[in-house]
């Protein structure tokens, strides 16, 4: 296991679920970690990571809080973006037209725009790092029509576009990669619009997820966290950019 000793990391969306597991894994490996999330830290969060509150879709909040993280950490080497919301798996025909526009707008702002805002705000600090990386969050929905309705799927394909584009635009100074989790147990994943409050709380979700991975193993947030810490590692992922790791138990296979 490669250490991340001294690595300065900011996790946008690190209060719960996959982001929180990534914070824990990175800290176990020796990284100094700050979190930006609109939610407070989880009650069982261990001490030691700086928790900044704020809406990651608000440009002023992002600029201020990324600046605060950079100051507290003494710089920034790794930006991880895991903030996300879901559309509740609805078929298009189920949407009242007015609701559809609002759902698309919020999904885009959280899943796509907030990633760009965070990268933009972090750029000056990342350019001062000798091993800078950005890791964004797509989904198995970014590889096919599974894991969401059309608006969520579109937002996660968009993240693939961001990874591809930014890897080219920010090279050679900054590596840019992504993680595409499959359906993951034990997270919240808030639904937007009139969708269920939390996708993770849907009855029978854990059983459904177990049955649909080729490996017949349930994917936990901790399983996904290792992909983020690998991609942030200056040694292990030294020449990795423009890549998305599917952590989906084989759901992405035909
Ligand atoms: N859980 C899954 O099955 C699954 C599968 C594929 C992809 N993903 C993706 O993984 C990422 C993490 O999801 P999760 O399941 O861990 O969900 P989660 O709800 O547990 O974590 C998401 C975090 O993002 C934060 N957040 C949301 N909107 C925000 C905003 N506007 N400003 C600041 N923080 C905000 C939430 O407060 C929360 O802490 C998301 O991008 C999601 O789309 C999840």
Among 22-36, 81-95, 220-234, the least confident range = 81-95
Question: Is the CB of 206 within 6 Å of ligand 1?
Answer: no
Give the 3-state secondary structure of residue 39.
Answer: coil
Residue 220 scores a pLDDT above 90: yes
Ramachandran assignment for 21, one of left (phi > 0), alpha (psi -120 to 50 degrees), beta (any other): alpha
For residue 46, what pLDDT is reported? 65
Q: Cα-flanking dihedrals φ and ψ of residue 108, to 5°?
A: -65, -45
Which long-range contacts (C-beta less than 8 Å, at least 24 apart) are formed by 21-27?
21/220, 21/221, 21/222, 21/224, 21/225, 22/80, 22/82, 22/224, 22/225, 22/228, 22/229, 23/49, 24/222, 24/225, 25/222, 25/225, 25/226, 25/228, 25/229, 26/78, 26/225, 26/228, 26/229, 26/232
Given phi > 0 = left and psi -120 to 50 = alpha, else beta, which region is 38? alpha
Closest residue by Cα to atom 22, ligand 1, is 83
Percent over 90 (pLDDT), the chain: 77
CA dist list (Å): 34 to 49, 123, 147: 5, 16, 29
Token couple for 124: 């000056």
Rounded distance, CA 11 to CA 33, Å? 7
* Mean pLDDT, all residues of the chain: 93
Question: What separation in Å is there between the alpha carbon of 13 and the centre of ligand 1?
Answer: 6
Domain chopping of the chain, boundaries: 8-247
Nearest residue (CA) to ligand 1, atom 1: 184
Range 207-229 average pLDDT = 90
- The catalytic site residues sit at 152
Whether pLDDT at 1 is above 60: no
In the numeric block, which tokens belong to residue 179?
């993680």
Question: What is the average pLDDT across 138-149?
Answer: 92
* Mutation probe of ligand 1 site: the residue of 11, 12, 13, 225 with most atoms within 8 A of C-beta: 13
Question: DSSP character for 112?
Answer: I
* Residue 95 confidence class, pLDDT cut points 50, 70, 90: confident
65 Cβ below 6 A of ligand 1: no
What confidence score (pLDDT) does residue 47 get? 67
Give yes or no for residue 238 having a pLDDT over 90. yes
pLDDT tens digits along 159-204? 999 999 999 999 999 999 999 999 999 898 999 987 667 777 778 8
The CATH code belonging to domain 8-247 is 3.40.50.720
For residues 178 and 18, what is the distance between their CA atoms, to the nearest angstrom? 13
Predicted confidence (pLDDT) per residue in 11-28, tens digit? 999 999 999 999 999 999
Whole-model pTM?
0.97
pLDDT one-digit tens code per residue, 102-125: 999 999 999 999 999 999 999 999
Decide whether any atom of ligand 1 lies within 6 Å of the 84 Cβ: yes
Buried b (16+ CB within 10 A) or exposed e, 115-124: bbbbbebbbe
Least confident range from 103-107, 206-210, 217-221, 237-241: namely: 206-210
Ligand 1 proximity of 62 Cβ (cutoff 6 Å): no
Ligand 1 atom at shortest distance from the alpha carbon of 140 = 6
Any ligand 1 atom below 6 A from CB of 187: yes
15: Cβ below 6 Å to ligand 1?
Answer: yes
Determine the pLDDT at residue 196.
66
To 10 degrees, the CA torsion angle through 51, 132, 164, 53?
Answer: 10
- Quickly tell me which residue has 């100051």 as its tokens: 71
Evaluate whether 41 touches 15 at the Cβ level (below 8 Å). Answer: yes
């Amino acid at each position: 296991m490669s250490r991340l000793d001294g690595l300065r990391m900011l996790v946008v969306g690190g209060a719960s679920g996959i982001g929180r597991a990534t914070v824990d894994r990175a800290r176990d490996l020796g990284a100094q970690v700050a979190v930006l999330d609109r939610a407070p830290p989880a009650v069982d969060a261990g001490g030691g990571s700086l928790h900044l509150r704020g809406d990651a879709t608000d440009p002023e909040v992002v600029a201020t809080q990324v600046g605060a993280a950079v100051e507290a950490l003494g710089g920034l080497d790794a930006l991880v973006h895991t903030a996300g919301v879901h559309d509740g798996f609805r078929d298009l025909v189920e949407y009242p037209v007015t609701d559809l526009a609002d759902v698309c707008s919020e999904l885009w702002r959280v899943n796509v725009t907030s990633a760009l805002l965070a990268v933009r705000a972090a750029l000056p600090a990342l350019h001062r790092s000798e091993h800078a990386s950005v890791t964004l969050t797509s989904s198995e929905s970014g590889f096919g029509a599974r894991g969401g309705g059309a608006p969520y799927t579109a937002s996660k394909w968009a993240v693939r576009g961001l990874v591809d584009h930014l890897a080219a635009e920010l090279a050679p100074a900054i590596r840019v990669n992504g993680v595409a989790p499959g359906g993951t147990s034990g997270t919240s994943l808030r639904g937007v619009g009139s969708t269920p409050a939390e996708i993770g709380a849907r009855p029978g979700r854990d059983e459904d997820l177990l049955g649909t991975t080729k490996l017949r193993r349930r994917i936990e947030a901790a399983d996904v966290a290792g992909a983020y810490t690998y991609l942030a590692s200056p040694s292990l992922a030294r020449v990795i950019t423009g890549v998305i790791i599917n952590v989906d138990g084989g759901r992405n296979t035909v």
